Amino acid sequence: MVFSNNATLAGHVTIGDHVILSGFTGVHQFCRIGAHAFIGMGALVNGDVPPYVMVATEGYSRPRGINTEGLKRRGFDAARIAAIKRAYRAVYMGGQPLEQARDQLAELARDSADVRALLDFIEAGQRPLLR
């Protein structure tokens, strides 16, 4: 984990492996930040951030894609990254309710342990998913 200057966690926050919190980020209490997530400078996070997701600010923070560069640096090959991108599109760009996105993730998870980790993270959530 990398915590840059003035990154702040409120109350009990769960942080996964290889997470980067940039300067002046704030995470609401009881949120979870999944493994390999990247939270951009000044982002205010008020929901769970799934693994591999990049969050940036524009008013309130929102997902902006996956942390492709971080995944490459950690040895993820092109096929693994492509599977994670497909999963991200299902959750964030498909325009469908989360329940339908979960069904699509379940199909994608058959062939990818990384997508399975993302689906397990979403299903274990107690707080709303940052969408």
What tens digit of pLDDT does each residue of 111-123 get?
999 999 999 999 9
Confidence bin at 81 (pLDDT 50/70/90): very high
Residue 59: the pLDDT is 66
Residue 1: the pLDDT is 86
Percent of the chain exceeding pLDDT 90 equals: 90
Distance CA 88, CA 66 (A): 7
Mean of the per-residue pLDDT values for the chain? 94
Residue 94 has pLDDT above 90, yes or no: no
Q: Please compute the mean of the pLDDT values over residues 122-126 and round it to a whole number.
A: 94
Distance CA 127, CA 106 (A): 20
- Give tens-digit pLDDT for 22-71: 999 999 999 999 999 999 999 999 999 999 999 998 767 889 999 999 99
Residue 8: the pLDDT is 95
Kindly tell me the burial class for residue 81, based on how many C-beta atoms sit within 10 Å of its own C-beta (0-12, 13-18, 19 or more): middle
Question: Token digits for 124?
Answer: 């274990």
Domains of the chain: 2-69 (2.160.10.10), 77-123 (no CATH)
> 88: helix, coil or strand?
helix
Question: What are the residues whose beta carbons fall under 8 Å from the beta carbon of 131, sequence distance 6 or more?
Answer: 47, 62, 63, 91, 92, 98
